[in-house]
Structure 1
Amino acid sequence: MPRRNPKPACPSVSRSIPKRVRIYVFSRDGQQCRYCGCVNGPFHLDHVLPWIRGGDHSADNLVVACERCNVEKKDRTPEEMGWQLRPVGAEPGPGRPKKVVEFKPRPRPRWFAFAKAAEISRILFLEARIERRKALIADDHAERLRIQDRCVKRMERAGRLN
């Protein structure tokens, strides 16, 4: 028996968020949840006033949310959850990682004006991932230096370093 597709609740209204709006919201909010301040993804776009309750797909009604907050919020407003929207670029929340991967708009090459929306979205994603990896490499290097310093001090105490 073939499966029947259920009728959408509002057949005349599209549920897809325009790509230009997606790109704008992710570039505005960066890689940080606007609810809890988390800087660890994965991230989603979330409607402040849920779509099912009449919220629209405008940039004013969309924010970046971590997966945990997005699932927990469901179809409620932040006020109903007792949450407040954090300002763009705010420090991470308490008990969360303190590292903020800053979004820095860069000058774009001339060819960038000819990129399609999907390509721009992918470029922004890759640039954010590159910045996160740079931060991780810096952390790893700092940890390696701390370990090296501890080993040198042990060697000095043991009298093995001339």
Structure 2
Amino acid sequence: MHVTTTINGEPVEFLADVSSTLLDALRGSLGLTGTKEGCGTGDCGACSVTVDGRLMCSCLMLAVEAEGKSIGTIEGMAQGDHLHPLQQKFLEMAALQCGICTPGVLISARALLEKNPDPTEEEVRFGLAGNLCRCTGYDKIVRAVLETAADMRESAR
């Protein structure tokens, strides 16, 4: 099937088998390999993207369902040579390890901060509960999200 969509603000067209997932299309057809497959069942969050601003597991969405939608992936977080504040803070605070979960965690954290720019620690932990990480233990991730939120609020003043 022919699919016309917007990915990271750019119009995109691709062909997709009716049974292929959005994850398959992103990684295979479109070469956007930042979105990872961890489980294939929507349990780990490594394949998290936004679809019309809503957080989704791309392994659970058919590629044909992207028709007319706006998709956000990890490749669209940085603006040119400037990392998104979350990406920068993750680097500064060593809130990443092997990198399998990191793109999904960053997408989930951005979605959280867009909805709630002043989250509590509990809200961050709840907002990232769908993202599994076997390397970091989550504390550095949560701290990085909280510090990014504080920095973004401060710069908005």
TM tier, smaller: under 0.3
How does the TM-score come out when normalised to structure 2? 0.27
Point out the structure with the larger helix share: 1
How does the TM-score come out when normalised to structure 1? 0.27
